Chains A and B, each alone.
Chain A
Amino acid sequence: MASSSPRDVVRSARLLVIGLVAVIVVLGLAIVLLAISRSTAPVEPGQVDALENSQDKCVACHRNTTPGIVQQYGHSTMAAANITCQDCHEVKADYPGAVAHEDTFVLPQPSTAMCERCHTAEVAQFNQSRHGLPAYVAVAGSQGLSEKLLAAYQAIPEGQFAPDKSRNLIAQMEGEAITRFACENCHNVGKPAADESVGQCQKCHQRHEFSLEQARKPETCNNCHIGPDHPQWEIYFESKHGIAYSTGGEKWNWDAAPGTLTVKDFPAPTCATCHFSGFGGAGTTHDAGDRLTWYLFSPISERRPSWQDNQVRMQTVCTECHNKAFIEVYYTNADAATESVNGFIRESNDVLKQLKDQGLVNDRPFDEPADFVHYETWHHFGRTAKFGVWMQGADYTQWHGAYEVVKGLGELKHFLEAQPEK
């Protein structure tokens, strides 16, 4: 081959450049075509087992010892994002709560401090909520909290409501053998960990799939918000919202990107939609009280601090489907119903006081029928009536709620009238 002149070299380089550009352009356009054609098929993130051929030592061992969690985690979006077992579980030897495990140290149940390393905003919102320390203190009391945790507790609206709460009397009577299977199952959602971080994200974001769909479905809330003292699960399914979910929920877009939900994704709300999701004009929150106007759980309901702001946030969700007049009338009527239940409970408190003043009931808690009647009147039926009002559950407002409140009040009055004055 004859030697090339500089001009030939330049010409060859031109060809090379054209060739390279053509290759890149053609490959790029091929990706475009492929992407368009593939996008017509449903794309389900998390369907691939990201750990199927993993050589990670945690995965390799736990595939034999606890294959269920490996199977679950392999299909999680966290595994798909290359978050490893070590990222959440592995800690230094001197970390509070660390347990020696296979030549390293781990937290058997990662604390929220571990979640917080990536989900900072979510954990901060949670820490300020009823699901945080107030949930735990409601059963365990505030006496065991460190100075730091007590300050954190008292800074939460629900903490200010009962700043020096003692251990729940019923939990005391039942004992830990019972409560660890009962009260603690739910109230530990706000339990402090050894590292003084608060709560258990996995109560709502179930291990190890951490599925959006699971967290958004009302079945998740059913784990705690059920039964005579706060039957939100039952009320939801009585409501129009629950009917819409039961009859059409399988068509909803459960994996829609967080913070961007609209009525196209969720034509009717679940618990998460109203209380947590970024839906329409409302931003995402992990503070369960962020959109609530009343302390409905308390015997005599009071307005929450900044309830007007909370109301705006909740009504922002409502306005995605309901007109403003409907919402305002609903709130006005529900406020009046709440005050009405408050009136009955106030009256029951007065009757109980009279019983005690007259020596007809002693000061020891839960040892006489009147104690239980009074307790159930506000704790079960008063709450149920109020929850029924706010969540559109007519039967729970009436027969499981207000009727039982009136009945309880009548029974208390009967105690007063039936006993001869001492």
Chain B
Amino acid sequence: MNSLATLFPPLARLRRLPLSRDQVMLLMAAINEIFLGVDTYLAHSLSGTIRPNEWIPIIFGPVSGGVLLLAGLIALRQRGLAQVLATVVFVASIVVGGLGAYFHIARTILPGGPAGQQVTLDLFFWAPPVLGPLAFAFVGVLGLSAAWVESPPDSGTLSLLGGVRLHLPYSKTQAYCFMVALGTLIALISSVLDHARTRFENPWVWAPVGAGVFGVVVAAVLGATDRPTRADVLTYAGAMALLMLVGAVGAALHVNANLSGPSLVVPERFLRGAPFMAPLLFANMGMIGLIALLDPTESS
């Protein structure tokens, strides 16, 4: 389905984009890897010390982003090689994300604590963000989905190396919707755990809760719908636009919260205060959600 064009017919008359939907997704994945590296660097700099295992995502982010961009160039001549390269990077991204989640969860558990208090929600509020590293895993799964061609479009059949064809229960578009739902859920839970430290005293922090839940449910249901109506797609596109808006406003509010006095910039407040890049995860999911609605047809 070319849902955006269905939604906004004038788009169908526009000249075809220079990149296919999957190529745009791969570009987003590369950008995400780079930004995740930067964001992780800022987060891991909090104590002024970065321990050896904390360097893994910091180095992996920009390196993997660079390799993916390189793979994009290689794909112009040798698509197979580029696909293998991208697959390796994305599998590694899943491993890095999984490892990070493990390290963070380990910091959340008190194995020697009293019975019943070894794992509590309170600990999750104050521990490193347990779901944060899963953003790497998310990008890995998203990238793997984008790296392999679906032929014919919206069939759920992927063409792998050596002519192997993999039949999936859902089309790639639907899979993207599921991924957007799960990615938004990660952003939602992370934001709720972070905002719980402030006890939700600021009314603005309820905005990502509402938009997040809406985005999760709408994306998941659209993913499960074989033939969405125009209204379904309109709702979904609205949810994605809302996520982008919440992300942008959230980033601005976080920056504002970290400014001191008359717009004074104190780097430490940006490191230790409201994480100014975190809300952009919502905007990121909204953008990926809208890209999923682009024409799935691959140019020859």
Is A32 located at the chain interface by the 8 A CB criterion? yes
Tell me which of A100-108, A239-247, A279-287, A375-383 binds B.
Answer: A279-287
Which residues of A (12-45) have their CB < 8 Å from a CB of B?
13-14, 16-18, 21-22, 24-25, 28-29, 31-32, 34-36, 38-40, 43, 45
Residues of A within 8 A of B209 (CB): 32, 36
Q: Judging by beta carbons under 8 Å apart, are B185 and A121 in contact?
A: no
Complex: how many Å from CA A16 to CA B216?
A: 18
Set B49, B197, B200, B268: member contacting A278, Cβ < 8 A? B268
Given contacts A280-B260, A283-B266, contact A25 B115 (CB under 8 A): no
Known: A48-B114, A82-B106, A281-B261. A14 touches B193 (CB 8 A): no
Cβ-defined contact, B199 with A39, below 8 A: yes
**CB of A140 closer than 8 Å to a CB of B:** no
Which chain A residues lie closer than 8 Å to B197 at the CB level?
A: 39, 43
- Interface hits, A238-294 → B, CB 8 Å: 257-260, 262, 278, 280-284
Measured between beta carbons, the chain A residues less than 8 angstroms from B122 are: 38, 43, 45
Interface string of B178-221 (1 = CB under 8 A from A): 10011001001100110111011000000001001100110010
Residue of A14, A28, A35, A59 near B169 (CB, 8 A) is A14
Main SS class of interface, B:
helix
Which B residues touch A38, using CB under 8 A? 121-122, 196
A395 interface hit (Cβ, 8 Å): no
With a cutoff of 8 Å between Cβ atoms, the chain B residues found around residue A56 in the complex are: 112
As a 0/1 sequence over residues 65 to 81 of chain A, the CB contacts with chain B under 8 angstroms (1 = contact) are: 00000000010000011
Q: Is B271 an interface residue (CB 8 A)?
A: yes
Which of these binds chain B: A112-120, A327-335, A412-420?
A112-120
A48 near B113 with CB under 8 A, answer: yes
A146 at the B interface (CB under 8 A) = no
Q: How far is the CB of B135 from chain A (nearest CB, A)?
A: 15
Interface size on B, residues (CB 8 A): 56
Chain A contributes a number of interface residues (CB within 8 A of B) equal to 58
The answer to the question of A55 belonging to the interface, with a C-beta cut-off of 8 Å to chain B, is yes
Report the Cα distance A316→B266, complex, angstroms.
Answer: 11
Contact for A259 among B193, B196, B224, B269, CB less than 8 A? B269
* Nearest B residue to A49, CB-CB: B114
Contact between A53 and B216, CB atoms less than 8 A apart: no
In the bound complex, do residue B178 and residue A278 qualify as a contact, i.e. CB atoms below 8 Å apart? Answer: no
- Supposing A40-B200, A118-B47, A278-B272 touch, asked if A32 and B189 sit within 8 A by C-beta, the answer is yes
Chain B residue nearest to A38 (CB atoms) is: B121
Among the interface residues B110, B117, B188, which one has the most CB atoms of the partner chain A within 10 A?
B110
Q: How far is the CA of A36 from the CA of B199 in the complex (A)?
A: 8
Cβ of A51 within 8 Å of any chain B Cβ, yes or no, is: yes
Give, as a whole number of angstroms, the nearest-CB distance from A365 to chain B. Answer: 44
Take A39-B125, A281-B261, A319-B261 as given contacts and tell me if A13 and B169 are in contact as well, using a CB distance cutoff of 8 Å. yes
Q: How far is the CB of A389 from chain B (nearest CB, A)?
A: 26
B267 within 8 A of A: yes
Q: State whether A17 and B169 are in contact (beta carbons under 8 Å apart), knowing that A40-B200, A53-B115, A278-B272 are contacts in the complex.
A: yes
Q: Please, which residues of chain B bring their CB within 8 A of the CB of A35?
A: 121, 124-125, 189, 192-193, 196
What CA separation (Å) do A390 and B199 show in the bound complex?
38
- CA of A247 to CA of B113, assembled, Å: 36
Does B49 contact A36, Cβ atoms closer than 8 Å?
no
Q: Does A10 contact B (CB under 8 A)?
A: yes
Complex Cα gap A387–B114 (Å):
48
- Asked if B41 CB lies within 8 Å of chain A CBs, one says no
- Which residues of chain A are near B117, meaning CB under 8 Å? 48
Other than A50-B113, A80-B110, give 8 A-B pairs with Cβ distance below 8 A.
A39-B195, A53-B111, A53-B114, A53-B115, A120-B49, A258-B272, A281-B261, A281-B264
Q: Which residues in B have some Cβ–Cβ distance to A below 8 Å?
A: 47-49, 51, 106-107, 110-115, 117-118, 120-126, 156, 167, 169-170, 178, 181-182, 185, 188-189, 192-193, 195-197, 199-200, 209, 212-213, 216-217, 220, 223-224, 260-261, 264, 266-269, 271-273
A-B contact pairs, 25 of them (CB 8 A): A17-B169, A17-B178, A18-B224, A25-B220, A32-B189, A32-B209, A35-B121, A35-B124, A36-B196, A39-B125, A39-B196, A39-B197, A43-B125, A48-B123, A49-B114, A53-B113, A53-B118, A55-B112, A119-B47, A119-B48, A259-B268, A259-B269, A259-B272, A281-B266, A283-B269
**Which residues of A are interface residues toward B (Cβ below 8 A)?**
6, 10-11, 13-14, 16-18, 21-22, 24-25, 28-29, 31-32, 34-36, 38-40, 43, 45, 48-56, 59, 74, 80-82, 117-122, 257-260, 262, 278, 280-284, 316, 319-320
